[in-house]
Amino acid sequence: MEELKTKNRREFLAHFSLLSATALLPISWKNVSQEIKTNNMANYTLAFDVYGTLINTSSVYTSLRKLVGDKSKLFVETWRNKQLEYSYRQGLMNRFEGFSTCTKYALDYTCDYCQVSLSLAQKTNLLNEYLVLPAFSDVKESLPKLKDANHRLFAFSNGEKTTVTNLLKNANILHFFEGVVSVEKTKVFKPSPIVYKHFNDVTNSEKENTWLISGNPFDVIGALSYGMNSAWVQRTKETIWDPWTYEPTVIINQLTELNSKLSHK
């Protein structure tokens, strides 16, 4: 019996000593826990524009050269400008029809403007090319590094969600993104502040901690006006910044430069 009491006394003292030692280190363990939590937190929420930023549309230009010859440069520029103009006008008129519809209407206009006669099949083929475009060569190199740096990555587009999702999947880059955010539900297009707020709402993020990454100056300016940070991807020297009062937070020529730029912000 005495031996049992001695054993119980030793076990109690050992347990008490362990509790006492642990109680002396609450601040240290709290710091370790906070450090682990901090390391797991995302640095920034990144909103990547799709066409011209992630996805290379130059193959459409190649097809147009075969169809319209010397008019291909004028044709592709007019098509793109009208595509955006129609999206702006739909937004101003509160007559949302979807970006693919803007693209189709713009193609019809461009054929008339450039005095080019394309068959229905040829137009359909051009429109279908927008569904299977490749990613720029720097995309697959840069996105994994941004994820490793604990940034949250989203695709953010004027295009319909289903269309953009399939496009990114076909380009084999969909898996890099936490999600695809489309303007569809807002019934307006970029650069309305409504769509940038929609992005923050959907991704549960704050605009001060969000970066819009785009090769389109109108998109960058829209994000800046709303209050986001923004990186302008100036892929060619021929791309000119709009002379407004807004300036990009950073300017890069390749997406591979983005991770370094963000690490200094």
Domain end point (choices 114, 129, 144): 129
Q: Give the single-character DSSP code of 55.
A: B
> Comparing C-alpha atoms, which of 138, 132, 208, 212 is closest to residue 169?
132
The tokens of 138 are what? 């720097």
* Whether 211 contacts 45, CB under 8 Å: yes
Report the number of distinct structural domains present in the chain.
2
* 31, part of any domain: no
Specify if 195 maps to a domain.
Answer: yes
* pLDDT for the residue 130: 86
CA 258, chain centre distance (Å): 13
pLDDT of the chain, 265 residues: tens digit per residue: 544 444 455 554 444 444 444 444 343 433 433 433 334 456 999 999 999 999 998 888 888 999 999 999 999 999 999 999 999 999 899 999 999 999 999 999 999 999 999 999 999 999 999 889 999 999 999 999 999 999 999 999 999 999 999 999 999 999 999 999 999 999 999 999 999 999 999 999 999 999 999 999 999 999 999 999 999 999 998 899 999 999 999 999 999 999 999 988 7
Same structural domain, 49 and 137 = yes
pTM over 0.85: no
Is residue 262 within 8 A of residue 212, CB to CB? The reply is: no
Do residues 72 and 198 both lie within one domain? no
Q: State residue 157's pLDDT score.
A: 97
Domain ranges, residue 140: 44-56+133-263
pLDDT at 74: 94
**In terms of domains, do 150 and 123 share one?**
no
CATH of the domain at 141: 3.40.50.1000
**pLDDT (0 to 100) of residue 62:** 87
171 and 195 fall within a common domain: yes
Which residues have a Cβ under 8 Å from the Cβ of 102 and sit 6 or more positions away?
A: 83, 84, 86, 87, 90
Same domain for 143 and 258? yes
Whether 240 maps to a domain, the answer reads yes
At position 49, the amino acid (one-letter code) is D
62 is a domain residue: yes
Q: What is the CATH number of the domain that holds 79?
A: 1.10.150.240
Q: Answer yes or no: do 147 and 228 share one domain.
A: yes
pLDDT of residue 36: 36
- Residue that finishes a domain, picked among 129, 160, 184: 129
Q: Are residues 118 and 233 in the same domain?
A: no
Asked whether residue 153 falls in the same domain as residue 239, the answer is yes
Residue 179 lies in a domain: yes
Check whether residue 259 and residue 140 sit in a common domain. Answer: yes
Which tokens go with 143?
């996105």
Query: 80, 102, 129 — which closes off a domain?
Result: 129
Whether 193 and 63 map to the same domain: the answer is: no
Residues 90, 213 within the same domain: no
186 and 125 in one domain? no
Residue pair 249/231 in contact (Cβ under 8 Å)? The answer is yes
